[in-house]
Amino acid sequence: MRIVLTGGGTGGHIFPLQAIARKLKKKYPQVELYFVGPSSNLIKKIVAEENIKAYYISSGKIRRYFSWLNFLDIFRFLWGLLEAQIILLKIMPDVIFSKGGYGAVPVVLIGWVYRIPILSHESDAIPGLSNRILGKFSRYIAVSYPLAKKYFREKKTLITGNPIRQEILQATKEEAYQYFNFNDTKPIILVLGGSQGAQIINSVIVKILPQLINRFQIIHQTGSNNLETVKQQVAHQGIKIGRDKQYWIKGFLNAHEMAMALSLADLVISRAGANAISEIAAWKKVTILIPLMSSANNHQRMNAYSLAKVGGALVLEENNLGEHILMRKIEKLLNDLELRDRMKRNIATFYHPDASDKIIEGIRALIEI
């Protein structure tokens, strides 16, 4: 099998592609995998780890506000179409698996022109603009949320859930306590801002950090671009990073660090990206979700409220995210054992352990058609 993987930009696109790539190589050792899509440091890191041959192309991004970059990106998109045309003609894969995003658009469009079968995957409750377009050119569309089905033709849509990296499930508390230099005397709070970080969450956490570390232990993923700023803010609060054993900070958690952090967490405070939700759900963790207000099509809010509707998470809007209300929510959740148990059971329904297998079955079906 010769398979092209494509998807644009963020961890929400590339981590599920990584999960599918690993499962494909395990199930079909002779498979030839290629990545064709935009370039980023994270994508380069992942394709190098997985030994996937990569071809990087240009692609334009549609901004939902006036920007001169929209005009420039028209030419980037057209150049990306030409690049995709040459690359796909050279590879001529059996199938294309697309995770969507602006970077996947040229690849899927040219794949459709070449009559290469395409399977697309939508992680969010509300599909982004790119996947709404690409769904029309895909043979099958796999979705994670039932709500997303209504945006695509029913006969070619399947609910699979969101594939996650298997390393996320491989950690023990004993190993994690040693790694973070924590113990079991205080509850542990894990703060996540997504692969790119979330400055608004960082700021509120820093404001209440002196209160938090008196009662809890904190693992704080700030986002790589925000790390130094947060360290300075923490220092102004009189907290010495590295000396204070109640607080552990890093810009970005790799898969094994994320697994260890989730294994310990009594409470997770997170953005509402589909990938983060799936990984949190796999560990059945009590969660406060703070959706990104500027996410396209409000997809993070819809993800978050899909969980809240069934009692799987508590949702705090950005415009309500004050330090006092966040502190009250933290205290409520960590003091109410019955509520925590109920939330753990409910969020677990959003984890689909067979998601990768179902998607690979779809890929295989396309090859055999």
309/337 same-domain check: yes
Residue 174, burial from CB neighbour count under 10 angstroms (0-12, 13-18, 19+): exposed
Q: Taking 70 as the threshold, does the pLDDT of residue 65 lie above it?
A: no
User: Looking at residue 90, what is its pLDDT?
Assistant: 96
Indicate the helix (H) or strand (E) that contains 361: helix 355-368
Residues facing residue 122 across a β-bridge: 143
CB 3 within 8 A of CB 34: yes
207/330 same-domain check: yes
Residue 64 — very low, low, confident or very high, per pLDDT cuts 50/70/90? low
Residue 368 — very low, low, confident or very high, per pLDDT cuts 50/70/90? confident
Phi, psi of 95 (to 5 degrees): -160, 155
Q: Residue 362 belongs to a domain with what CATH number?
A: 3.40.50.2000
Q: What is the DSSP string of 141-163?
A: EEESSGGGGGGS-GGGEEE----
Residue 204 — very low, low, confident or very high, per pLDDT cuts 50/70/90? very high
- Strands (E) located in the chain: 2-6, 32-37, 53-56, 95-98, 118-122, 140-143, 157-159, 188-192, 217-221, 247-250, 267-270, 287-289, 314-315
User: Looking at residue 139, what is its pLDDT?
Assistant: 95
195/236 same-domain check: yes
Give me the helix-helix angle, 323-335 and 199-215, nearest 10°: 50
190/146 same-domain check: no
Phi, psi of 234 (to 5 degrees): -65, -40
Instruction: Name, of 112-121, 225-234, 237-246, 319-328, the range with top average pLDDT.
Output: 112-121
229/284 same-domain check: yes
User: Looking at residue 83, what is its pLDDT?
Assistant: 96
Q: Taking 80 as the threshold, does the pLDDT of residue 369 lie above it?
A: no
233/286 same-domain check: yes
User: Looking at residue 103, what is its pLDDT?
Assistant: 87
Q: Taking 80 as the threshold, does the pLDDT of residue 28 lie above it?
A: yes
154/196 same-domain check: no
- In this predicted model, which residue has the larger pLDDT, 164 or 11? 164
Domain that holds residue 133: 2-163+353-368
- In this predicted model, which residue has the larger pLDDT, 77 or 111? 111
Residues facing residue 33 across a β-bridge: 3
Rounded Cα distance, 266 and 337, in Å? 11
Q: Taking 90 as the threshold, does the pLDDT of residue 13 lie above it?
A: no
232/115 same-domain check: no
296/364 same-domain check: no
157/177 same-domain check: no
Instruction: Name, of 68-72, 79-83, 319-323, the range with top average pLDDT.
Output: 79-83
Q: Taking 70 as the threshold, does the pLDDT of residue 357 lie above it?
A: yes
Please write the tens of the pLDDT for every residue from 272-300.
Answer: 999 999 999 999 999 999 998 866 668 89
206/92 same-domain check: no
Q: Taking 80 as the threshold, does the pLDDT of residue 195 lie above it?
A: no
As a whole-number percent, the residues of the chain with pLDDT over 90 amount to: 75
111/256 same-domain check: no
Residues facing residue 97 across a β-bridge: 5, 119
Give the total number of structural domains in the chain.
2
Please write the tens of the pLDDT for every residue from 117-162.
Answer: 999 999 999 998 889 999 999 999 999 999 899 999 999 999 999 9
Q: What is the mean pLDDT of residues 90-114?
A: 95
